[in-house]
Amino acid sequence: MSPRTTMVGPPGAPCELPPEVQECCSRFETFYLAKHTGRKLFWQPQNGFADIKAQMPKTKHELNVTTYQMCILMLFNQQTTWTYQDLAVRTNIPLEELKRHLMSLYVNPKAKILVKLGDSEKKEPEESDQFTVNPQFESKLVRIKVPLVQLKSSETPAAGREGESGAVGSSDVPATVEEDRKHLVEAVVVRVMKSRKTLEHNQLVMEVTRHLTSRFQPSPTLIKQRIEKLIEREYLERSQGDRRVYNYLA
């Protein structure tokens, strides 16, 4: 899948753009900043759209999607199946937005680009759900616009979850926000380890805390829990020489 996308403006929500798009962004930033002094350039992935040339199992199409959907779909060039949790970590899209943009790729019969694997009959994705490109997808249309679904508000206060979010008064934090923070911590851990390759536990906790302080204050317990999850999913491993040192794998 190859993208063509546009999105620029004041600072937007976080998002891990595909390497191909990051390269284009970097080249444009170099061009723009060379032309203008005293200015800053920010990207707004939450407001962007992209045209993707997609080779589906049966037909070829040009998909008109959101930037978030582009980030999701481009990952399927790397491997055929992804879990919901891994998509959250890889894309760094805010959880509620990830849910909405991902669902739009598999619930609409006319734009069922992906299929959700698993026994659950729920339409909304769950942490362990897996997704793959729809092998049966075909359409007479060459250009397909993927419409966005609307989600019902599901925010409810989380009770008895002390230590999960690591913020003062965490019992007043909605469950969806707590889940969003978990995925955000994992995304930052992966980003830090991808850059540093090897880090001792306390150094990693300090780095993750520093990156997230402007958004919320994660507890060391929360960071440790998410590191353990990343080790289970083989993003990280413990050093054989020192169990408190982590190596980057993915």
pLDDT, tens only, 221-243 = 899 999 998 988 889 999 988 88
Number of H helices, E strands in the chain: 7, 10
Find the CATH number of the domain harbouring 105.
3.30.230.130
Structural domain boundaries enclosing 215: 174-248
Q: What is the mean pLDDT of residues 27-36?
A: 86
Q: How confident is the model at residue 13 (pLDDT cuts 50, 70, 90)?
A: low
Q: What is the mean pLDDT of residues 41-69?
A: 89
Classify residue 225: in a domain, yes or no: yes
Q: How confident is the model at residue 119 (pLDDT cuts 50, 70, 90)?
A: low
Q: Which of 3-17, 88-102, 139-153, 160-174 has the lowest mean pLDDT?
A: 160-174
| C-beta of residue 88 within 8 angstroms of C-beta of residue 176 | no
Classify residue 161: in a domain, yes or no: no
**CA 65 and chain centroid, separation:** 16
Mean pLDDT of the chain: 82
Find the CATH number of the domain harbouring 180.
1.10.10.10
Q: Which residue has the tokens 């546009």?
A: 6
| C-beta of residue 155 within 8 angstroms of C-beta of residue 73 | no
Cα(90)–Cα(250) distance, rounded to whole angstroms?
10
Q: Select from 108, 130, 145 the last residue of a domain.
A: 145
Classify residue 220: in a domain, yes or no: yes
Share of the chain above pLDDT 90, in %: 40
Q: How confident is the model at residue 86 (pLDDT cuts 50, 70, 90)?
A: very high
Q: What is the pLDDT of residue 188?
A: 92
Q: How confident is the model at residue 163 (pLDDT cuts 50, 70, 90)?
A: very low
> How many folded domains does the chain comprise?
2
| C-beta of residue 56 within 8 angstroms of C-beta of residue 71 | no
61 pairs with which residues across the strands? 54
| C-beta of residue 148 within 8 angstroms of C-beta of residue 126 | no
Q: What is the pLDDT of residue 173?
A: 62
Q: Mark whether 209 and 94 lie in a shared domain.
A: no
Is residue 5's pLDDT more than 70? no
Q: Mark whether 119 and 204 lie in a shared domain.
A: no
